[in-house]
Structure 1
Amino acid sequence: MSNVVVRLAAAAAALSLAHVAVAADLSHKDEKYMTKTAHGLISEVAMGEMAQKNAADERVKQFGKRMIDDHGKELAKLKQLASQKKVTLPDDMDHGQKKEFDKLGKLSGKDFDKEYVKYEAKDHKEDVEDQGKEMKATSDPDLKKFATASYDTVSRHKESIDELHRTLGGK
């Protein structure tokens, strides 16, 4: 009986080593995508939290809540995937996102609503364009599955924020 346990343990160890070897083969481009995506997700959650506090329009607050919920879940999935792939993700926004976050943090009410929605409309347009290209270029099957789901989420967000932008007087 103990011989079977030893063989099972050896097989499990071999599978674990094979997984590490596969993870170590993640392309530089895929790692870069994961890092960029983590920055973006962290930013979306933080700005969504800000919208909850600073927005006047209930629709803007609801959009912010959606960013927290959807991108928070995506960030958790990305962190899990990064752990499996042995990739270290950032734990903060990038410089440009921090700058926008600080700018929005000085606003409240209708001024916040206008600038937040304008920023989110522009950001989601860029994200849809970038993620469409990056999704096709991703070589790792697990990351491609994540990128495809993320692209679908961002596409739905873009539709919502574009409509909100139009109703609040944006172009």
Structure 2
Amino acid sequence: MSLKIQTSNVTNKNDPKSINSRVFIGNLNTAVVKKSDVETIFSKYGRVAGCSVHKGYAFVQYANERHARAAVLGENGRVLAGQTLDINMAGEPKPNRPKGLKRAATAIYRLFDYRGRLSPVPVPRAVPVKRPRVTVPLVRRVKTTIPVKLFARSTAISTGSAKIKCE
């Protein structure tokens, strides 16, 4: 029979003395990992005074700073429930590191394999100026038939009354 010690939900976020003994656990899969799991994992580094689990992250409060630093060094980067944990001291700013270097280079290259390639899209050099649309009048051709009587009459009239000069 194992003796389970109950820990508090309070992580003393307002106490300036205990802020150095608090650990932040980020990228935590809280759908799978429960508070008891977090307590079990982090209790091997020292006495856990409090633990609070939230959606995606958790805080663990240790009795002293030495235990908290040992937990950060021992557990940072650990894969738990399929996610790599991001563990830091809660009172310290996150160390500067490039954001894009979390994945291995081969994993990034795999994203750009043959199936993932796209043809290049031409980029327009200049944005065309909007001009008003010019309306071209539509000319419709109408099929005209000249009646034979009218044609014969008009030639007779034109030859009779007007003199046509042909040279």
The alignment's TM-score, normalised by the length of structure 1, stands at 0.26
The alignment's TM-score, normalised by the length of structure 2, stands at 0.26
Where relative contact order (Cα < 8 A, 6+ residues apart) is larger, the structure is 1
Q: Which of structures 1 and 2 has the bigger CA Rg?
A: 2
* Structure richer in strand, relative to its length: 2
